Structure 1
């Protein structure tokens, strides 16, 4: 037989009438199962009676495995095979929380990135305001950076991992001013990074096109971006003084004069400039100063004395009388609102129908300014 010839030459026990997987089974542990029933012509007694030599038996372990594969009636179920092959070692099940969170790529960007604060109002050179509402991207290694002037800076990891990082590196906060010139934009209060928040400084340099040219991280959680723009090419394009109002320019001139006359020190001069820049909205004041400003505004609405209150009351009464005369002059009816306990009088939008003084005259001369009523053409 073929398996005897293979055995003689040292080949594996693989025959053409057997399943091809039988050659792999001698390497696997098989259970001790009873051999399958033999067919009548395969019995040793029958073979001896017919004068045939009995067929030699293959090894027990191999014969058992091959017999299961060659007899479909005794073939074990797939569940048995799975349980048998996995019984050699324990299977460890790792439970990973299915928290896609803010990095789910199927969520809109507004839901993925949640800023901690609103960006500061747009300020600085007016010709840079055209950059507001636009975003510029830059890809380095496996990260994509997006810079939106006067809004924020974001970072997105370019990977197929389910928990790829996507976060905010800073929100528009204030300008970086050096030597009375706008140098860059500070983006602060980004995502948390250990014990502090991420922040980014965007340097503005001259370039042919508006583009994000370079990204680096000089220190942990502090990023540096270089933005090229033709709007920064003119030598006077980033000066601070022209962006101020006339009142703030006058304050700056007075500070310069005081420094020249040695009435204040260099440190005092810088302090005055910082206050001017904060008042202009170029620098963001500290929380304490903002609270102090709000308190000053509230105090300005209060009357310091009864005399000042009476003075303001007389001024308002005079203004109300002037408005009444103006309404009467134009024929607009007004009446007191009884639902409110105030001295203010509310205008009724019913307008008195104007009558022409001269029938044959032009109505264009008779129409009163501010009269929105409909002319009565029936005489």
Structure 2
């Protein structure tokens, strides 16, 4: 009997240890959570190898040369982060703005929200930095406006998306706290300052209009590389069709849909007795033929009704 009681007592510590292990952290207080980087799926031996997304952090253009107030150029080469919800934003002045999804998904999003392009100037004052030509977003590229405000230290303070694929960042810095720190005139070279003085004199002598005065100031901004020229912007906007259609398949699909809409419209116009003609136009600088439908009618209501029918609107 004594030997049996001794055996049962010797098994109790082991039983208590097993119970404590089963209870886990309940008896030990709060668990310590260790944050891991958002590369869970990369080099994960339990997942099949996945190629990285082809669009990830591949810029569409090079950033413009740093330009603007000399005291702000010291920010070039530095980056500032801001974390909100599941996203981390990084602003690198005179370089780019990026967004990184903070998640353990293997294909967590990382993308470019804009590349340094030009300044926004109002009332002869720098008010923001435009970062354009970011990753594709529907039919346009993402872009970001960075507002500069006075702050005790350099930091990215706020991020929002006021409209689809257009972002707004607020960057605080002591470099803009002086009331004259963002004036355009002191940031110009001596040569351009003399040009500005001459334009001011022309306006004072009433030799140019207010509109002409603003136009000449813009030319000075462009010469100083604060603005991109209107010609350069237009050339970028009207680049090759490859930027409009992501692939030949997408182009053919859109063309087929437009052709079907054209046939439906012709049918509806014929039903309502509206005269029309099809005109073929061919561009001289490229092998391109387009169809244009010319409608002649004195009854706009009839045409409007036909258009609504084409779009599937059965209303009156």
TM-score tier after normalising by the smaller chain length = 0.5 to 0.7
Preserved CA contact (<8 Å) 1:200 1:222:
yes
1:268-291 deviations in whole A, cap 9, x for unaligned?
111101100000111111345899
Segments of structure 1 that go 5 or more residues without pairing to the other structure are 1-96, 104-110, 292-379
Q: CA RMSD in A?
A: 2.2
Contact 1:100 1:163 in 2 (8 A): no
Query: Does residue 116 of structure 1 match 2:57?
Result: no
Aligned residues: 189
Q: Which of residues 126, 130, 134 in structure 1 aligns to 2:70?
A: 126
2:183 is the alignment partner of 1:235: no
* Correspondence for 1:217: 161
Match of 1:197 among 141, 157, 166: 141
Question: Structure 2 vs 1, CA of residues 289 and 131 (structure 1 numbering), >3 Å: closer, same or farther?
Answer: closer
Alpha-carbon distance, 1:204 to partner: 0.3
- What are the Cα deviations for residues 289-340 of structure 1, in whole angstroms up to 9, with x where unaligned? 899xxxxxxxxxxxxxxxxxxxxxxxxxxxxxxxxxxxxxxxxxxxxxxxxx
Q: CA deviation at 1:213?
A: 0.3
Structure 2 match to 1:135: 79
d(CA) in 2 for partners of 1:235 and 1:213?
21
Task: Decide which of 42, 46, 52 is 1:101's aligned counterpart.
Answer: 52
Deviation at 1:196, TM superposition (A): 0.4
**Counterpart in the other structure of 2:262:** none
Question: Greater relative contact order (Cα 8 A, min sep 6): structure 1 or 2?
Answer: 2
Aligned partner of 2:199 in structure 1 is 255
Q: How does 1:19-168 map to 2 (within 5 A)?
A: 99-102=50-53, 112-168=56-112
* Contact persistence 1:102–1:113 (CA under 8 A): no
- From the two aligned structures, give the one with the greater strand fraction: 2
Distance 1:164 1:129, change over 3 A: same
Q: Supply the distance in 2 between the matched residues of 1:267 and 1:241 (Cα, whole angstroms).
A: 19
Question: Counterpart in 1 of 2:302?
Answer: none
1:205 aligned counterpart, secondary structure: strand
Summarize deviations over 1:351-371 as a string: whole Å, max 9, x none.
xxxxxxxxxxxxxxxxxxxxx
Query: Which residues of structure 2 form unaligned runs of 5+?
Result: 1-47, 236-316
Distance 1:98 1:264 in 2: 67
The structure that has the greater radius of gyration is 1
Question: What is the SS of the residue equivalent to 1:102?
Answer: coil
Match of 1:277 among 194, 217, 221: 221
How far, CA to CA, are the matches of 1:142 and 1:267 in structure 2?
47
Cα offsets for 1:92-117 (capped at 9, x unmatched): xxxxx9754238xxxxxxx9411111
Q: Secondary structure at the match of 1:164?
A: coil
CA contact under 8 A between 1:205 and 1:228: conserved in structure 2?
Answer: yes
TM-score by length of 1: 0.48
Task: Say if 1:268 and 1:99 are closer, same or farther in 2 by CA, change over 3 A.
Answer: farther
Rounded to whole Å, the distance in 2 between the matches of 1:271 and 1:206 is 30
Q: TM-score, normalised by structure 2?
A: 0.57
Distance 1:175 1:251 in 2: 20
List aligned pairs for 1:250-329, cutoff 5 A.
Answer: 250-288=194-232
1:264 is paired with a residue whose SS is coil
2:287 counterpart residue number: none
